[in-house]
C-alpha cells in the first residue's frame, strides 16, 4: 500500500515561489477518483462561487460527464493511463500486480457506469422494471 510521500511533488505559487511540502497536498483528479470527490467537497465548501464552478466543471470532466476537446470520454481511452500509473506503483512501490489489476477493473467499471448514466449505487436499467 502506498501512502503520503513527502517531496514527491515540487509545487510553486506564482507569486510566493516554492511552497513547503507541509503546506500542500497534491491531488490528480484525472487519475484518482478520490481526488474528484475532494474537488467536489471543496467546491461545496468554498465561499468563492467562481472557484466552486470551475472545480465542479473540472470534476465533471474527470468523471466523463462533460466532453473534453469536443470528444466524449470513453473507458477505452482511459485504460492506458490507468495501466501506466499503476504499473509504476507496482515497479516503484511494490504494489501487488493483482491489486493493480483490480484497481484498473474498478476504474473501468466506475467509468462505464458514469458513461451509462448511473449515479451512486443506483443500477442502470433499460427502462423496464
pLDDT of amino acid 43: 92
Residue with cell 449515479: 119
pLDDT in tens, 26-71: 888 877 888 888 988 999 999 999 999 888 888 877 776 544 444 5
Q: How far apart are CA 56 and CA 87, in angstroms?
A: 29
**In degrees rounded to 5, what are phi and psi of residue 47?**
-80, -10
Q: What is the pLDDT of residue 67?
A: 47
β-strand partners of 17 = 13
Asked whether 27 and 35 are in contact (CB, 8 A), the reply is yes
User: Per the structure block, which three cell numbers stand in for 119?
Assistant: 449515479
Contact 56, 43 (CB under 8 A): yes
Model pLDDT for residues 66-117, shown as the tens digit of each residue: 444 445 456 767 778 888 888 888 898 888 988 888 888 887 777 776 766 6
Amino acid at each position: 500500500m502506498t501512502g503520503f510521500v513527502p517531496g514527491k511533488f515540487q509545487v510553486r505559487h506564482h507569486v510566493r515561489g516554492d511552497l513547503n511540502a507541509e503546506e500542500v497536498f497534491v491531488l490528480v483528479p484525472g487519475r484518482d477518483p478520490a481526488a474528484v470527490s475532494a474537488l467536489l467537497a471543496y467546491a461545496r465548501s468554498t465561499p468563492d462561487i467562481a472557484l466552486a464552478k470551475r472545480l465542479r466543471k473540472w470534476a465533471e470532466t474527470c468523471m466523463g460527464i462533460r466532453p473534453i476537446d469536443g470528444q466524449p470520454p470513453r473507458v477505452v481511452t482511459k485504460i492506458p493511463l490507468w495501466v501506466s500509473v499503476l504499473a509504476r506503483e507496482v515497479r516503484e512501490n511494490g504494489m501487488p500486480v493483482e491489486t493493480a489489476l483490480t484497481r484498473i477493473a474498478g476504474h473501468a467499471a466506475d467509468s462505464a457506469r458514469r458513461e451509462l448514466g448511473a449515479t451512486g449505487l443506483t443500477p442502470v436499467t433499460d427502462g423496464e422494471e
